Amino acid sequence: MKRINYYSLLLVVHFLLIFITVFGSIFVIIIGQPEWLIAFITVPMINLLLLPITKKGEKFDPAHPILMILVSVIIGSVLRSFFIISPYESPAKFLMLMGKPPTFLLVGIIPLYIGFIFFVFGYIYPVKPLRDWSRKKIYNEEVSLKKFIPVTIIITLVSMYTAYEFFKKTGVNFAALSADDLSKKRRFQMEGGGYAALGYYKMVMDLIEPLFYIALMYMILNKKKIISFLGALTLFLGILNLIYPVIESIRSNALYVIINTGLIIFYLTGGIKLKDLLKVALVGSVILYGMTIFRSSNNTKRTVTTVSTNPLAIMVGTTNFTGVDKTSQIINGIPDKLPYQFGESLVYWLTSPIPRTWWPDKPAISYGLIIGEKIYGKRDFDDPGGGIPPGYVAEMYLNFGYAGIVLGMFLMGLLFKLFYDAYKKNRATSIYAMLIFVIVFVPLALKLIGGDFSGCMTKVIKGVVSVYIIMKLIQKKQVNNPDLQKKEINQI
């Protein structure tokens, strides 16, 4: 964000959003289409969330948690509202409104505004910063390249073998891999019925992700050429980290790899050239668009009955992000279709270490599966996929009503601020801090607001454990003098 005053830019954005809201609302009233007011009143959500960072001295950070939340809100609430009101024909609108008029979206818009107001209160609330973790050994000990290379090769081979077994168990035919295979969700069908996600397989497979980021950091900081053994290894790890989610048809995982690669380059080089940013965005868009088309063409559920070729419709026509539609449906369905949970959905992540193959009746960790069944009635429980993540605001209401929204969003704002400030200070001087930031904190900030709590907590624990194990295997054993270690990303 060089040559641009970030504070001035945000002021311009605020003005434009207010202009669009006011004059857009007046215009649709004049032309006799007041239903468009539903869409225009979602626009100030952006203003509200930008308030905490609209201050002099604030610097642009692409991974700021508020910007991550804004991505979800803009796609799932603002653009989706305009999409629903628009005359554009899309079968996805059936799932969004379930036969109700567009005014039904007000059921979700009001709780979302309440939630974001208290999120802002939590974010700006004065609280003592977290203690400085940088003196802990794992934060400041250097990485040994002599350890890193063999550990990386061994873990990569183990990961590839585990991936082969995982995909074989979940029905991938490697002899005749087709577009249909790339569009299917991967779950293992157990004897006697039911499905298992094989989480431990995935955890081993995903060990290559931190290894890729460490290798990337080393290449950047030491200005190594890609034409080398380490360069080839780094490139191979990057490709492998994209191949797994493509075969699994998990678009978000592929997206995070692309985002995190860009963030590491941004933080370690002081910025990304526009042409390089456009290249990364183009590659990411092509991958995600292709995966969505494949999945849609193979989908037999009522979510999408025909394949849309409109990229915008594909993006906003999903059940992900902070959906104003699903927030409305969930809140409207409580307690008639689904009773208040009183915290039950928030503790399912505690059961994640127990394999479903050992406990076939284990509760679904992702509450989206229950939402899909009870609120939308669009799936059988044993049918793989079909879940609709409730979003943090709706899940807080599901558990404790409006009190849950107020307290939950306040705590979310408070904790995001505390952890962001803590890792912002350490990520530039610690490999471990950078890895936790990009593997754990960034996906959490991007996904929690539109996902489900227990599912996100499971990913947080898996990410922390994986990074910790990797770092312990590859770090040098240093004399306890952490001040000597505080150089650029430990100098690796």
Element (DSSP H or E) covering residue 168: helix 145-169
3-state secondary structure at position 143: strand
Give the CB-side neighbour count of residue 60, counting CA atoms within 13 A. 16
User: Distance between CA atoms of 292 and 227, rounded to whole angstroms?
Assistant: 34
Full 3-state SS string of 221-290: HCCCCCCCHHHHHHHHHHHHHHHHHHHHCCHHHHHHHHHHHHHHHHHHHCCCCHHHHHHHHHHHHHHHHH
What per-residue confidence (pLDDT) applies to 311? 63
Helix (H/G/I), strand (E/B), else coil: 475: strand
Separation of alpha carbons 344 and 484, rounded Å:
47
Query: What's the confidence (pLDDT) of residue 194?
Result: 62
Give the mean model confidence (pLDDT) for residues 398-425: 94
Percentage above 90 pLDDT, the chain: 43
pLDDT tens per residue across span 428-465: 778 889 999 999 999 999 899 998 999 899 999 999 99
Return the pLDDT at 358: 74
| Tens digits of residue pLDDT in 313-326 | 777 878 788 989 99
Percent of all residues in the chain with a pLDDT value above 70, rounded to a whole number: 81
Band of the pLDDT at 195, cuts 50, 70, 90? low
Would you tell me how many other CB atoms lie within 10 Å of the CB of residue 189? 14
Range from 18-27, 373-382, 384-393 carrying the lowest mean pLDDT: 373-382
**pLDDT, tens digit (0-9, with 9 covering 90-100), for 139-156:** 877 888 889 999 999 999
Tens-place pLDDT, residues 75-125: 999 999 999 998 888 777 888 888 889 999 999 999 999 999 999 999 999
DSSP annotation of 185 reads -
Measured CA to CA, the distance from residue 244 to residue 480 in angstroms comes to 39
Cβ–Cβ under 8 Å, residues 98 and 315: no
Burial of 48 (0-12, 13-18, 19+ CB in 10 A): middle
Give the pLDDT confidence of 36-87 residue by residue, as tens digits.
Answer: 999 999 999 999 999 999 999 888 888 999 999 999 999 999 999 999 998 8
DSSP string spanning 41-85?
A: TTTHHHHHHHGGG-STT----TT-HHHHHHHHHIIIIIIHHHHHH
Every domain of the chain and the residues it spans: 1-62, 84-492
For the stretch 327-353, pLDDT in tens is: 999 999 999 999 999 998 898 888 888
Average pLDDT of the chain to the nearest whole number: 82
pTM over 0.95: no
**Separation between Cα atoms, residue 435 and residue 442, nearest integer Å:** 10
Query: Which strand (E) or helix (H) includes residue 444?
Result: helix 442-447
pLDDT recorded at residue 26: 95
Per DSSP, the three-state class of 195 is: strand
Token representation of residue 395: 């899940």
Residues 6+ apart with CB under 8 A from 339: none
Residue 128 pLDDT greater than 50, yes or no: yes
- Joined together, the tokens standing for residue 437 give 């930031």
**pLDDT bucket at 414, cuts 50 / 70 / 90:** very high
H/E segment holding residue 189: strand 188-189
DSSP 2: T
The CA distance from 157 to 124, in Å, is 47
Cα distance from N-terminal residue to C-terminal residue, the chain? 28
> What local confidence, expressed as pLDDT, does residue 306 receive?
44
Return d(Cα 489, Cα 429) in angstroms, integer. 4
Q: How far is CA 1 from CA 8, 52, 434, in A?
A: 12, 19, 21
Least confident of 171-180, 293-302, 406-415: 293-302
Q: Does residue 131 or residue 4 have the better pLDDT?
A: 131
| C-alpha separations of 465 from 168, 290, 394 in Å | 26, 32, 29
- On the question of pLDDT at 380 being above 50, the answer is no
Whether the CB-CB separation of 72 and 322 falls below 8 Å is answered with yes
CA separation for the pair 359, 195 (Å, rounded): 11
Phi-psi region of 343 (alpha: psi -120 to 50; beta: other; left: phi over 0): left
138-152, 175-189, 290-304, 391-405 — which is least confidently predicted?
A: 290-304
Would you state the pLDDT for residue 309?
56
Burial class (CB in 10 A: 0-12, 13-18, 19+), 122: buried
pLDDT, one tens digit per residue, over 246-262 is: 887 777 788 888 888 88
pLDDT at 110: 95
Q: What are phi and psi of 357, to 5 degrees?
A: -65, -25
